[in-house]
Amino acid sequence: GAGVSQTPSNKVTEKGKYVELRCDPISGHTALYWYRQSLGQGPEFLIYFQGTGAADDSGLPNDRFFAVRPEGSVSTLKIQRTERGDSAVYLCASSLIIGGRDEQFFGPGTRLTVL
């Protein structure tokens, strides 16, 4: 079956622009996570959705970042007024948490470059 997909795979934008990054999770997975990963570092948690609601958005760095999951499936991460420091790979993961096991399946990521 299909894994987690993310589009676009690469996004180059200019400082100050608005971007949207899309995540298509594995069908039936109720849990969805967004992370970002900078070169040489581990992924950094941004936000967690259980169904349609953001159950934990404590990792969003500031109010320029926002994410939605209106129908409990596809999610979009939105970044306003992008800054050069936002450049990173943005990873999405989905999971079906059963019996306390949270096996997250990651997508390939979207590489965001802010010029």
Partner 1 sequence: GESVGLHLPTLSVQEGDNSIINCAYSNSASDYFIWYKQESGKGPQFIIDIRSNMDKRQGQRVTVLLNKTVKHLSLQIAATQPGDSAVYFCAENPSGTYKYIFGTGTRLKVLA
Footprint of partner 1 (CB under 8 A) = 4, 33, 37-45, 48, 50, 55-56, 58-59, 88-89, 91, 93, 100-109
CB of 55 to partner 1, least distance (A): 5
Nearer to partner 1, 16 or 61 (CB): 61
Give Cα 81 distance to the centre of its chain.
Answer: 17
Nearer to partner 1, 1 or 100 (CB): 100
**Three-state DSSP class for 84?**
helix
Nearer to partner 1, 48 or 65 (CB): 48
CB of 101 to partner 1, least distance (A): 6
Distance set, CA 27 to CA 15, 31, 41, 86, 95 (Å)? 35, 11, 29, 29, 10
CA angle, residues 55, 72, 25, in degrees to nearest 5:
100
